[in-house]
Amino acid sequence: MSRAPDTWILTADCPSMLGTVDAVTRYLFEQGCYVTEHHSFDDRLSSRFFIRVEFRQPDGFDEQSFRAGLAERGESFGMVFELTPPHYRPKVVIMVSKADHCLNDLLYRQRIGQLPMDVVAVVSNHPDLEPLARWHEIPYYHFPLDPNDKPAQERKVLEVIEQKGAELVILARYMQVLSPELCRRLDGWAINIHHSLLPGFKGAKPYHQAYNKGVKLVGATAHYINNDLDEGPIIAQGVEVVDHSHYAEDLIAKGRDIECQTLARAVGFHIERRVFLNGGRTVVL
């Protein structure tokens, strides 16, 4: 379900306690806010409660006063909350290498309004995709990778991210392993996409490896990055059944499509504030 353009989003989490739903929904009622969507989840294993509410503001709505009142109401619950205004569009930096399918798909979805975001820069270790970015009138930064001085290249990448005020970084088939330092800097707000043939088929030509083993499923995984290579908290996954009639090139084509769809879905979830980090896992409401 996509977000209505005129609604506020309230997200909150806290330890599991009696009255958490009431604390949020009663406050919204008292402030004259009309709830249009509501989801909550209580994780019995981590004893943590998560809630996401979309609402329409009443006449005379004062954001600062609303925040102050909610903070007071949630204090006894240890509640941490975020309030996202209508028409929110995060600034996004996309990192790519040579493959263009995910970048092209994301920019198309931005252009037609399906993904309400502003891509403020495309960063790459190769020059190949600059024409695509330029066609969309997006600055393109080519930072070649020196194997003997990888930190220097990453400092340039981080400088662009900070200068552009990016709130989200998308690794749209960026085929380089990020350093532990950069992973720490981007922890929780950088999304990566990769095929779901890991860990069985690592390295070069994974789809050819999969074909040789006669796989019956191909898919993709979108996750937040962390210092565990391709093992960050998963946001979304996609999968499709294949059989003996699918050659390696067919698996590659299906993989491209699933990667695009899965990455777009994960980015949409993030933009709409549907994703909560819950230890090494996610809650998606």
State the pLDDT at residue 214. 84
Query: Does residue 199 carry a pLDDT above 70?
Result: no
| pLDDT band for position 147 (cuts 50, 70, 90) | confident
| pLDDT band for position 1 (cuts 50, 70, 90) | low
| pLDDT band for position 205 (cuts 50, 70, 90) | confident
Query: Does residue 229 carry a pLDDT above 70?
Result: no
Q: How far apart are CA 90 and CA 120, in angstroms?
A: 10
State the pLDDT at residue 226. 84
Count of C-beta atoms within a 10 Å radius of residue 68? 11
State the pLDDT at residue 197. 63
Q: How far apart are CA 235 and CA 222, in angstroms?
A: 6
> Tokens 């998606």 identify what position?
284
Query: Are 252 and 207 within 8 A, CB to CB?
Result: yes
| pLDDT band for position 67 (cuts 50, 70, 90) | very high
Distances, alpha carbon 74 to alpha carbons 15, 27, 70, 213, in Å? 11, 10, 6, 54
pTM of the model: 0.92
| pLDDT band for position 200 (cuts 50, 70, 90) | low
Mean pLDDT, the chain, whole residue set: 93
| Mean predicted confidence (pLDDT) in 66-94 | 96
State the pLDDT at residue 267. 98
Residue 241 pairs in a beta bridge with 217
Of residues 72 and 200, the one with the higher pLDDT is 72
Q: How far apart are CA 54 and CA 272, in angstroms?
A: 10
Which has the minimum average pLDDT: 15-24, 176-185, 205-214, 229-238? 205-214
State the pLDDT at residue 96. 98
Active site residue 230: yes
Query: Does residue 60 carry a pLDDT above 70?
Result: yes
| Mean predicted confidence (pLDDT) in 71-82 | 96
Which has the minimum average pLDDT: 32-46, 162-176, 186-200? 186-200
Query: Does residue 228 carry a pLDDT above 80?
Result: no
Query: Does residue 119 carry a pLDDT above 90?
Result: yes
Question: Residue 120: what are its φ and ψ, rounded to 5°?
Answer: -95, -10
| Mean predicted confidence (pLDDT) in 139-162 | 94
Query: Does residue 230 carry a pLDDT above 70?
Result: no
| Mean predicted confidence (pLDDT) in 90-100 | 97
Query: Are 54 and 88 within 8 A, CB to CB?
Result: no
Q: Output the furthest CA–CA distance in the chain (Å, rounded).
A: 65
pLDDT in tens, 241-284: 988 988 889 888 998 999 999 999 999 999 999 999 998 999 99
| pLDDT band for position 2 (cuts 50, 70, 90) | low
b/e sequence 145-177, b meaning 16+ C-beta within 10 Å: eeeeeeeebbeebbebbeebebbbbbbbbbeee
Domains of the chain are 8-84 (3.30.70.260), 91-284 (3.40.50.170)
Identified catalytic residue from 42, 43, 100, 230: 230
Which has the minimum average pLDDT: 22-31, 213-222, 258-267, 268-277? 213-222
* DSSP secondary structure letters along the chain: -PPPTT-EEEEEEEE--TTHHHHHHHHHHHTTPEEEEEEEEEETTTTEEEEEEEEEPPTT--HHHHHHHHHHHHGGGT-EEEEE-TT---EEEEEE-S--HHHHHHHHHHHTTSS--EEEEEEESSSTTHHHHHHTT--EEE----TT-HHHHHHHHHHHHHHTT-SEEEESS--SPPPHHHHHHHTTSEEEEEETTTTTS-SS-HHHHHHHHT-SEEEEEEEE--SSTT-SPEEEEEEEE--TT--HHHHHHHHHHHHHHHHHHHHHHHHTT-EEEETTEEEE-
- Beta strand pairing status for 281-284 and 275-278? antiparallel
Question: Which of 140, 137, 136 is CA-nearest to residue 96?
Answer: 140
